[in-house]
Copies of this chain bind each other. A is one copy, B any other.
Amino acid sequence: MATMTAAQQRAQSKAEYDAFLAACPSRKLLDRVSDKWVTLILAALGSGGSPQLGTDGAGEPRPMRYSELSRLLAGVSQKMLTQTLRSLERDGLITRTATATVPVTVFYELTGLGLSLHELMRSLKDWAELHMDEVLANRSEYDTRVA
């Protein structure tokens, strides 16, 4: 390829991937991480579960067991939990550690990469909880206006 200016090289390295393009791999990755269970799992692992009453802020990242995640993410099916955990492991966002006790014990833990995404996922969960009232108000206003 021909010589590029510094600005062009910067643009190139920053725009190596573009999720606006249908064929770009980052589009699929974006689709993957834009998932309810991904968000909740990463939020859970990164914050040590639900914020405890009497403490401010969330906890530290810590490993969690399958059953613990299952209990925390109310309503998640075994299938979706396992499936999502596998895909997160494959993408290198979490690690899976099985110790051969009886019965077997399995821990899931964030990797560095997972931790970087966790920040966003927790913010997203917080955003939803924080602006729920406002969204609810907007919806009812919209519905009465349209109806």
Q: Which residues of A contact B (CB under 8 A)?
A: 7-8, 10-11, 13-23, 25-27, 29-31, 33-36, 38-40, 43-44, 50-51, 53-54, 56, 72-75, 89-92, 113, 116-117, 120, 123-139, 141-143
Contact = CB atoms under 8 A, between A and B. Distances in A.
Contacts of A35: 34
A82 to B, nearest CB: 15
Given A7-B54, A8-B54, A15-B53, 5 more contacts: A16-B133, A30-B39, A33-B124, A91-B135, A113-B135
Nearest to A29: B128
Contact of A74 (B10, B21, B44, B143): B21
